[in-house]
Structure 1
Amino acid sequence: MADGAERRTTATKRRGPKRAAGEPAGPDQVRRALLDAAAELFVRDGVHRVSLREVAAGANVHPNLIRRYIGTRDDLVMAVFDDLSSQLAELVLRNPLAGQGHGPATVMGRWVRMLDQLVLEGRPVVGRAGFNPVLALAQTLREGYGLDDRAARVRAAQVGALALGWRVFEEYLLEAGGLGDLPVEVLRAELADTNRRIGATPWRPPSEAADDALP
């Protein structure tokens, strides 16, 4: 009996520290917590102003787990962008042509702010793997308005340009256009309506349109 009690006592002593309440457990939870914490901090404070320790603290994990489950700092930055791109694409598919929000608390708002930072820094945002929001929008235009594949991709890119430009430069556009007397919510709703009209408009290359005009 004494030997058994001693073995149980030794085993108990060898156990590691208990996991704190609410701390992510396992690779999937840790990675999810890191991506969410990094997205919030990068959007709020800027990519270059956020340390990896701050990201780890926000995710409630040890800093070493960033390298284990994601990689380097650059890997983390691009993983956040890819994750937001995937989230936004899924939202577009679930809610075709619905407004995706503007503020930094929304997926659209975070994605736009991350994209803006990456483009200004000269980081390569093209050629990223995965289903992106523009392709998701093109799919909804094909299914919702019967556009052919090329027309849907053109209109999706145009809608994306308008949506991105407004969100990045909204404050300047409102001031430059003397639109301070109009509620911003009204202008944002009008932007969504404009995007729907663009998305529903068929498109043909200029060469084809010119051929139709020939006698």
Structure 2
Amino acid sequence: MVQVLKDCVRNQIAEAAEVQFAKVGYTKATIGAIAREAGVATGTIYKYFADKEALFHAIITAGFVEEFSSLTRRRIAAFAQPGGLHAGRSILESEAGELLRFWVRNRLKVVIILARAEGSAYESFGASYVQDMAEQTIAQAREQFPQIEITDLFRFMVHKILSDSVRGIVAILENFRDEASICEAFSASTAYQLAGINGFIEWSLAQGAQDARI
């Protein structure tokens, strides 16, 4: 008899795997646990996916990763625009809104790739994501504030701020599920982070001016 595979079952399995990967991480997630989450027999999963790795890549696709990275680059680039670092602007405007809506639509996927991908092909994505953002941020700082000296301390602080930001993204997406609550949490987080970033920039400019006088 010809085996009939159903899209609804495939989607059910993928959704269960997404939950498990986000909850315990790629390495600790088991086909058995995914089967229980999906409400299917373990053998049923292998009718749709060759193994756990194939299931992971059905969820975290190359297209998803590229869109995530592209939206982030556009969001950071917006900071270099006049008034870019302004907490009063709505987080739903332009580039910020695009990235936030992407996070809301892909809540568990974002948690997975930023914090739960150890053991997968994307286990270094989180670290690379922070490093790429740091390099773009530093390049823009040079252009926007030529008087700022890019010291080792400056690089360290940019990297730390962005690392903390990524941990905050994961925490918010893990703790809030509906769009309104996620947006409110990111609005509060953005106001807090921008105040810190602006304070750090002001401090760096003041340090540069002080060093120039010495």
Q: What TM-score results when the alignment is normalised by the length of structure 1?
A: 0.43
Higher relative contact order, structure no. (Cα contacts within 8 Å, ≥ 6 residues apart): 2
Larger radius of gyration: 1
TM-score by length of 2: 0.43
